[in-house]
Structure 1
Amino acid sequence: MFLHNLLLSRIEMAARRITASTVNWASLAERVPANQKASFANFKSKSDSYLRAVMANPENPPKIDWAFYKKLVTPAMVDTFQQKYEALKVPYPADNVSASIDAQAKETKSEVDSFVKSSKDRISGYESEISHIKGLLPYEQMTLEDYRDAFPEKALDPINRPTFWPHTPEDQVGYKSKDAPVDH
């Protein structure tokens, strides 16, 4: 039991070093979607309770009065415990994931940058379309010729592209379904 408690105090001391980096919870909370706020609050609560448990322990383990124990227990046994205690080194975990996280962050940043660029391109296209529509006559005042001039690809063109009502591709003369069997 004695060695077990000593080992736990060493592990807790190592855990304290891990908590040296702090999390900016406010910045992180801004990025959490609304439908995941409850999960985020639960995660933060667990993290805070772990942090409180670690902080409740002293940074350094309490000093052991080996002479006191030598009076109560066989000195050879206490010497063995003392040697094992002083030889005990709790290894600090090696950082073997930061490089992959940094690489993933760079990859994600390039994806985000390309998405932002394509979004800006789409936005500029939409803005030019909006300015085009704002420059048109109101639809109430527009004639079929005005509509044809404004939207040549959508307007009814009875000479070059005659269609029949309801003007859908499958209702036109000569339409062949993509799913229809091929005649040989």
Structure 2
Amino acid sequence: MAARRITQSSINWTALAERVPENQKGFFTAFKAKSDGYLRRMMANPETSPKIDWDYYKARVPVQGMVDDFRKKYESLNIPYPTDNVTPQIEQQEKQSLKEVQEFVKQSNVRIAGYEAEVGRLKGLLPFEQMTLEDFKDAYPDQALDPLNKPTYWPHTPEEQLDYDDSKVPKEDAHH
């Protein structure tokens, strides 16, 4: 008979517990307790099956050859340990996930560098209280009024401009 024993736990519960969020601690504790229960029940069984005293049964069973037949069948019984055909799939998923994580980290580092550059640019600007209209136009060209290239009319809202198109604005239902 094939037997496989766990000599020690291959799970680092402490490292796993550090990664569990606070709102999931109860679930984690229940999972660990269930896992420990399974391990205890498995370890309570002997590594090999107990030896059978065939001579004892041969002396007690009146039918000739019955014990020998059982013994022959019992000793020829072979229960193979299940083959592991899932681990390669898991390893492939792990490699794929690792590639995705590395790609995400690379993209995140690019975004972080862009955000740090933007923060540096914003820190280098004059405070709004000290800016003139020209300083504001230099810092925010898309938001500033540009009377030379794109003049606007008072009150400088989109609705009051000559090129305003009210067909792009959703109409409100008239309440009668």
TM-score (norm 2): 0.78
Shift of 1:152: 1.6
How many residues in Structure 1 have an aligned counterpart in Structure 2?
Answer: 168
Structure 2, unpaired ranges of 5+? 172-176
1:46-97: CA deviations, max 9, x gaps? 1110010000111111111111121222352222221222112121111111
Counterpart AA for 2:131 = M
CA RMSD of aligned residues (A): 3.0
Amino acid of the structure 2 residue aligned with 1:81: F
The answer to whether the aligner puts 1:174 opposite 2:165 as a matched pair is yes
Which residue of structure 1 lines up, in the alignment, with residue 56 of structure 2? 68
In the alignment, which of 85, 97, 109 is matched to residue 108 of structure 1?
A: 97
8 Å CA contact retained: 1:69, 1:78? yes
State the match for 2:19 in structure 1. 31
Task: Give the corresponding residue for 1:151.
Answer: 140
2:125 to 136, 158, 176: 136
Q: Any runs of at least 4 consecutive aligned residues in structure 1 with deviations exceeding 6 A, and if so which?
A: 18-21, 164-172
2:87 alignment partner, one of 98, 116, 121: 98
Inter-partner Cα distance in structure 1 for 2:159 and 2:92:
51
Q: Is the radius of gyration larger for structure 1 or structure 2?
A: 2
Q: Which ranges of structure 1 fall in alignment gaps of 5 or more residues?
A: 1-12
Most deviating of 77-86 and 56-65: 77-86
